[in-house]
Amino acid sequence: MCEKLPYYNPRIDKCLRDKIKEINRSKYFITQSSCCGHGKYPTTIVVKSGFGNFFEWYSLTPLGKRKRYFYKKDEEGYYYIPEVIEFFKILGSFLILISSKFLPGMMA
């Protein structure tokens, strides 16, 4: 669906085209692949930095140095990045922990 598309590729999710152009205008970052998440997953853009490492643009999740297959496809055909899902799970647990410690009134 959305994997491994260079920024000029018309198959990039429409809603991400401007953002991807903007990222690629910088000489420090090159986008590798992206997916808007199609309402099911977080929007993700895989970016290669000038240092050669890969990360996801919005969550800043490091993705190691592999060359492809950042995305996995679920049983419905939607693509997601496992590390980014992990990131949001950890972030979610962290927020629950913080709010239970510091904002006890908010937790029923």
Report the residue number, 77 or 104, with the smaller CB distance to Zn ion: 77
Chain residues binding Zn ion by CB under 5 A are 2, 13, 35-36
Compute the least distance from the CB of residue 35 to Zn ion, in Å. Answer: 3
Compute the least distance from the CB of residue 107 to Zn ion, in Å. Answer: 35
Compute the least distance from the CB of residue 76 to Zn ion, in Å. Answer: 12
DSSP 5-70: --TT-TTS-GGGHHHHHHHHHSSSEEEEEEE--TTTS--EEEEEETTS-EEETTT--B-TT-SS--
